[in-house]
């Protein structure tokens, strides 16, 4: 199952006949004994390759140094009198301001997978060029990062590490058989050779003449790959879980469960794929994503999986929770397809939104599910106009922290369910107030043994009384 695309830069994204390179060739031709353009380019690449092979680990030189050395050794061979610093100025302009091939932007727009740039050039040059064209790859892996140039296996190994993929989950596309095809194969990665101008066909490697020709190949891969549904929940008191289950049951009855309450889980190791669908549901804590949930969501690697955003609130408001959730998951590599704000009983004072989600909520959530199924079937990922503010509101102080009561029997259940380890498993009466997230999970499993102090609860209830009246709506985006 393919989860990511690795893409070469120079010659694959960046046109080698950009005006800067044409000017370099013109100047060197005019100031040397070499008058044949093709011969000059061939000699340049031979010297460049030799310097790249010498530049590894302790003897590593960055691209600026390698090309400077190339001009010097080439210059000696062809009696070049052209000023090398002026040539290097053109080269730096070429790397960051050269012309992109016309199929690059359409490929980025159509590709359903995250794209990582694998380049011998410095990241600064490449990232500036990509930003200038409004293109955002999943990441950059450059020679500077491993102190070696393609086809070095270490460069591709680093790319696998950055992408979080295994070799069989990646395709590398480049225009050089020696650097790209052989380099990718050394790391166990499937290569595809890009030959825009044609050339002799090689039977040992798939060849395409345009980056956009890769899209049908990826669609065929997706048809063969099974789609998984994931239900990713942070539900300390059960309201978020109950609400999410109603929606998920309209999509599948066998989702893979991911519990964000589990403080021991390695969330970065979950193997999401591009064709997967995830429901991520969190409660709104003071109008924000709960801190433990946000920290764990940031560790996920979406790999282009589609995601349904859900926040569940206790009949006050969800403020910036949805936009924060969208940002967290987009940055983690997911593609949002829908957003939902749903109401459930307030986790601290269950008088508010009591009994919700009820039958009317269930019917509404099931209708949301019908629309989501249609979006998933059509492949639609609309831009979501979610309410909320960026920057987000400040997280309010967490004053309602449960403490052990006189009825605490030291059973340890509260310590087991605490998502942040704030309760000492050896002494359940001891609570680390600095760690406590006020999630109320402990009061759910032991209502008598742990409670918010009565004076604090009285003030909280009076405040909620003012803002949690009436029946607040479920919303779909």
Q: Are residues 211 and 188 in the same domain?
A: yes
Flag whether pLDDT at 202 surpasses 90.
no
Q: Are residues 379 and 260 in the same domain?
A: yes
166 against 120, higher pLDDT = 120
Q: Are residues 294 and 413 in the same domain?
A: no
Task: Quickly state the pLDDT bin for 217 (edges 50, 70, 90).
Answer: confident
Mean pLDDT score of the chain, rounded to an integer? Answer: 91
Report the residue count for the chain.
477
Question: Six-digit token pair at 327?
Answer: 């940002």
pLDDT of 52 reads 94
Q: Which domain holds residue 166?
A: 4-13+99-224
Buried-state track 21-42, b at ≥16 Cβ within 10 A, e below 16: beebbebbbebbebeeeeebbe
Residue 463 lies in a domain: no
- Among 216, 198, 215, CA closest to 207: 198
Q: Which of 55-69, 228-242, 388-402 bottoms out in mean pLDDT, i.e. has the lowest?
A: 388-402
Residue % of the chain over a pLDDT of 90? 70
Of 97, 127, 148, the residue that ends a domain is 97
Q: What is the CATH number of the domain that holds 436?
A: 3.30.70.20
Residue % of the chain over a pLDDT of 70? 99
Q: Are residues 243 and 361 in the same domain?
A: yes
How many domains does the chain fold into?
Answer: 4
Flag whether pLDDT at 224 surpasses 70.
no
Flag whether pLDDT at 223 surpasses 70.
no
pLDDT of 161 reads 93
Question: Six-digit token pair at 369?
Answer: 């599910």
Q: Are residues 132 and 88 in the same domain?
A: no
Q: Are residues 215 and 91 in the same domain?
A: no
Q: Are residues 76 and 215 in the same domain?
A: no
Angstrom distance (rounded) from CA 353 to CA 313: 9
Question: Six-digit token pair at 294?
Answer: 């946000």
Q: What is the CATH number of the domain that holds 251?
A: 3.40.50.360
Residue 461 lies in a domain: no
Flag whether pLDDT at 45 surpasses 90.
yes
pLDDT of 169 reads 86
Angstrom distance (rounded) from CA 201 to CA 47: 26
**Per-residue pLDDT tens for 290-308?**
999 999 999 999 988 999 9
Peptide bond into 302 cis (omega under 30): no
Task: Quickly state the pLDDT bin for 88 (edges 50, 70, 90).
Answer: very high
Buried-state track 253-284, b at ≥16 Cβ within 10 A, e below 16: eebeebbbbeeeeebeebebbbbbbbbbbbbb
Q: Are residues 283 and 303 in the same domain?
A: yes
Q: Is 98 helix (H, G, I), strand (E, B) or coil?
A: coil
* Reported pTM: 0.57
Q: What is the CATH number of the domain that holds 110?
A: 3.40.50.1000
Flag whether pLDDT at 222 surpasses 70.
no
Task: Quickly state the pLDDT bin for 90 (edges 50, 70, 90).
Answer: very high
End-to-end CA distance of the chain: 31
Angstrom distance (rounded) from CA 92 to CA 96: 6
Q: What is the DSSP letter of 99?
A: P
Q: Are residues 276 and 389 in the same domain?
A: yes
Flag whether pLDDT at 379 surpasses 70.
yes
């Amino acid at each position: 199952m393919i989860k990511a695309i690795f893409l070469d830069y120079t010659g694959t994204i960046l046109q080698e006949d950009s005006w800067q390179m044409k000017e370099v060739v013109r100047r060197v031709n005019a100031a040397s004994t070499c008058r044949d353009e093709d011969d000059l380019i061939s000699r340049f690449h031979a010297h460049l390759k030799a310097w790249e092979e010498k530049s590894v680990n302790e003897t590593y030189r960055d691209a600026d140094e390698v090309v400077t050395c190339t001009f010097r050794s080439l210059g000696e061979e062809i009696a070049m009198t052209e000023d090398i610093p002026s040539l290097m100025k053109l080269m730096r302009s070429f790397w960051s301001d050269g012309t992109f091939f016309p199929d690059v932007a359409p490929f980025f727009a159509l590709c359903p997978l995250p794209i990582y740039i694998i380049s011998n050039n410095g990241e600064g040059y490449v990232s500036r060029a990509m930003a200038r064209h409004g293109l955002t790859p999943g990441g950059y892996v450059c020679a500077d990062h491993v102190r070696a140039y393609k086809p070095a296996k270490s460069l591709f190994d680093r790319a696998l590490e950055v992408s979080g993929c295994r070799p069989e989950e990646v395709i590398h596309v480049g225009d050089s058989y020696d650097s790209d095809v052989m380099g990718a194969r050394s790391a166990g990665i499937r290569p595809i050779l890009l030959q825009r101008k044609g050339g002799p066909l090689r039977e040992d490697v798939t060849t395409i003449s345009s980056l956009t020709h890769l899209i049908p190949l990826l669609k065929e891969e997706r048809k063969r790959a099974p789609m998984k549904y994931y239900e990713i929940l942070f539900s300390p008191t059960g309201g978020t879980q109950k609400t999410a289950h109603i929606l998920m049951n309209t999509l599948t009855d066998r989702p893979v469960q991911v519990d964000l309450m589990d403080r021991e889980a390695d969330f970065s190791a979950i193997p999401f794929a591009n064709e997967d669908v995830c429901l991520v549901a969190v409660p709104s804590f003071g109008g924000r994503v709960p801190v433990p949930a946000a920290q764990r969501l940031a560790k996920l690697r979406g790999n282009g999986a589609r995601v349904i955003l859900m926040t569940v609130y206790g009949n006050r408001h969800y403020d910036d929770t949805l936009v924060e959730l969208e940002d967290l998951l987009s940055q983690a590599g997911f593609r949002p397809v829908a957003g939902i704000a749903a109401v459930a009983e307030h986790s601290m004072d269950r008088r508010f939104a009591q009994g919700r989600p009820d039958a009317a909520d269930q019917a509404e959530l099931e209708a949301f599910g019908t629309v989501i199924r249609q979006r998933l079937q059509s492949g639609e990922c609309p831009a979501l106009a979610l309410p909320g503010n960026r920057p987000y509101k400040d997280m309010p102080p967490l004053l309602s922290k449960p403490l052990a009561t006189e009825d605490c029997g030291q059973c340890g259940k509260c310590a087991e369910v605490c998502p942040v380890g704030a309760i000492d498993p050896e002494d359940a009466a001891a609570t680390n107030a600095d760690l406590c997230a006020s999630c109320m999970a402990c009061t759910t499993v032991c209502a008598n043994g742990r409670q918010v102090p009565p004076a604090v609860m009285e003030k909280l209830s009076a405040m909620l009384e003012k803002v949690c009246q009436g029946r607040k709506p479920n919303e779909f985006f």
